[in-house]
Structure 1
Amino acid sequence: MKKHVVHIITGLENGGAEGVLFRLCTNDTVYQHSVISLTSEGKFGLLLRQNEVRVITLDMKGMINSLMKLYNLHKALKTLSPDVVQTWMYHADLLGGIIAKLSGVKNINWNVRHSNLSRAHNSLSTILVAKSCAWLSRFIPNSIVCCAEQARITHEALGYDSRKTVVIPNGYDFSERDKTNSISIKKELSLAKSTPLIGMVARYNPQKNHAALLRAFSLIEHDDAHLVLVGPNITEANEELVTLIRSLNISKRVHLLGERTDIPSLMSELDLHVLSSSSGEGFPNVVAEAMASGTPCVVTDVGDASFIVGNLGWVVEPGNEYALSEAIQMALSQKESRPAQWNQRKIDSAQSVRQRFSIEKMILAYHKVWEKS
């Protein structure tokens, strides 16, 4: 009989933590996995079900409703009788950790993803829940999994029990990535094959700082370069985004593609991927995904972005659009003037990520946490 891990997560919408949970559950052949979402099924709930992973949704909404649904969580844990409970993100760490403890579960582990808990970038409720978790970290979890080194530092500074923290970087199934194909994005956009193509895959959110990227792009000397932006709310319907693009006079060279299902193929066609975030990153998946496709990266120094790119990309301070522009210009100039060096950078980027962040390494690291606990 396989040991049973029950994961408790705040929700299963499209996000980094949700994607990691999905890859962990569907690629691990040693443990049996079930997932409890405190809210809705979302994108990944359906995908988990399709991969024969049991999913329970509690549909918590509002204070009174949530308190009533905690009984359902307690009942579910009693029924499932897990060997291990792994919680994901603050609210699930707090509520799931307490209810798991009251349900008699001995092996409880948390998972934290943030690397910045400043009031400027987080709601007061998020900070209060995180501080509550910091105090409870001495009593509830056996281990606290951090997705990035910066996340570990941030949470230990907040008061999380440093004796229990362990860093497990995100892992990726590169075999599946290598099978993906799609129509050429340059052909789709009626661009010549030689057109320098820069991209960023990120939802529209102030922390992603699309404004800094657009201003930086408007400053580069390569007038033939084009920029593609991909992600939720990255469409012509986003008036704020469209207005900024028009004000910078770059409308003809910026393409808003919205959400896509062919991200790996799209990444492989980019000449350069940029992460312009001002904060809020733990382990930025898009950087690893771009490099895995052989696409060099320019990143701001947020979360573990600089750790991921190492000396194979360009790192600039967050919020400095001039430094970001210079880095993009430097990258495009190298591609143009030193093609052999550029091609080697592409090869080294892919090899670096594939060696360090495989799904197999991530799964084994979680096994060690669950076995140690």
Structure 2
Amino acid sequence: MRMKKKITFITSGIGTGGAERQLALLAGGLRDRGFKPTIISLSAAPNPLPEFENLETYVCPLEKGLGSPRRFLKLWKKIRQLEPDIIQGWMYAGNLLASILAIGLKPPRVFHSVRASNMDSARYGRQIRLNGLASHFSRATIFNSEAGMDFHKNMGFSASNLQLIPNGIDTDKFSPEPRLRDVLRRNLGFASGDKVVLYVARLDPMKGHKTLLDVALACPEYKFVMAGKDTETLEASSNVTCLGACENIAELYNAADLLVSISNFGEGFPNVIGEAMACGLHVLANDVGDSRAIIGNTGYICASSDAEIVSKQICSIFARRNNVVKPADPRQRILTSFSCNAMVEAYASLYQKEMLDHVSK
């Protein structure tokens, strides 16, 4: 019996975001390995990631819950038309819909994927509980971080079918480009000798924008750049440039001297850390999610997320760079431990084994 190797991904959305970019990388990598990936987005994005343009993608927007009966029925029919070998949920909403839409399919091979760690129960408690219940009926729940796996196990997720597959970084797209440094700095109005601190995150309560704004106030001698959706709305001191959503993130990594990653909760595998490291940029992060495990000995971990302590640590990093040996090469760590190829191979092996087990039965 020849395997069709059809994988249908059901995701919350395909707009700007780390989880969305990982999905696009995964689907593209699986296609290159002979799989037939299809992506169903449960929301319409005004500006979908360009990476989805060359992938088979369907937008089936649903309102809260299961949406209108007509739209849900359309989605139900679409799944049966696709005849997937495996349905892979992506993020909380995608996981729940994957389990519901698989009812009646033979065999109902459903996988879930969780991309976060210690989420705020006040905001996400209902989704976490429902996902925990549904996890007992999926073939596996795949986490991109140890921190996420431990947190959700304690929140009632099935402990018997957890899988860890760290994110993969596109090291072709994110790579050192020294020629971009001076060009982008001039475009931003910075001098070649300015110390530039970069913070990349959408404006969200789980992120640490308020902390970074306070840090910038305490460090007027340095330039700070904030990039991410809605950051252009922030009121900041004169040494902070708020760019909003950016297409040229790789260029920003190359223009900066240090990436700072501060989050209040919820981080699993922060993609911005891996992307910056792939560009050769050293990182200062607080100890959330798997940040410490990703950075290893190539960067710095904040002793606290307090703005005063973070500002002192930034000053210390810049003051001692000319006097001591730098941390290890961040790009080499990404190439060795967190490549896109390794991530895709891990998913491909998992799916292949699942389909082979079915054929042999």
TM-score normalised by L of structure 2 = 0.90
Residue among 32, 50, 56 paired with 1:54: 56
Paired residues of 1:11 and 1:42 also in contact (CA < 8 A): no
1:253-280 deviations in Å (ceiling 9; x for gaps): 1111222211112101211000121112
1:60-92 deviations in Å (ceiling 9; x for gaps): 124573444222222111111011111101111
One-letter identity of the residue aligned with 1:150: A
Secondary structure, aligned partner of 1:102? coil
The residue aligned with 2:231 is: 234
The residue aligned with 2:150 is: 153
The residue aligned with 2:358 is: none
Matched, 1:288 2:290: no
One-letter identity of the residue aligned with 1:71: L
Paired residues of 1:312 and 1:348 also in contact (CA < 8 A): yes
Q: How far apart in 2 are the matches of 1:291 and 1:46?
A: 22
Identity over the aligned pairs, expressed in percent?
Answer: 28
Change (3 A) 1:198 1:99: same
Q: How far apart in 2 are the matches of 1:267 and 1:108?
A: 37
Deviation at 1:173, TM superposition (A): 1.9
Deviation at 1:227, TM superposition (A): 0.8
Matched, 1:351 2:332: yes
Change (3 A) 1:46 1:173: closer
Matched, 1:224 2:221: yes
The residue aligned with 1:313 is: 299
The residue aligned with 1:130 is: 128
Paired residues of 1:151 and 1:282 also in contact (CA < 8 A): yes
RMSD: 2.1
Structure 1 stretches of at least 4 aligned residues deviating more than 4 Å after TM superposition: 179-183
Matched, 1:196 2:195: yes
Residue among 112, 115, 122 paired with 2:114: 112
Q: How far apart in 1 are the matches of 2:312 and 2:253?
A: 22
1:30-81 deviations in Å (ceiling 9; x for gaps): 2111011122255447642x31x22122111245734442222221111110
Residue among 252, 262, 272 paired with 1:266: 252
Q: Which moved more, 1:254-263 or 1:357-366?
A: 254-263
Structure with the higher helix share, 1 or 2: 1
Q: Which moved more, 1:175-184 or 1:323-332?
A: 175-184
Deviation at 1:209, TM superposition (A): 1.7
Count of residue pairs brought into register by the alignment? 348
Q: How far apart in 1 are the matches of 2:107 and 2:89?
A: 12
Paired residues of 1:110 and 1:145 also in contact (CA < 8 A): yes
The residue aligned with 1:363 is: 344
The residue aligned with 2:171 is: 174
Deviation at 1:206, TM superposition (A): 2.3
Secondary structure, aligned partner of 1:36? strand
Residue among 75, 84, 87 paired with 1:85: 87
One-letter identity of the residue aligned with 1:215: D
Q: How far apart in 1 are the matches of 2:350 and 2:277?
A: 28
Alignment of 1:319-338 (within 5 A): 319-338=305-324
Instruction: Give the unaligned 5+ runs of structure 1.
Output: none
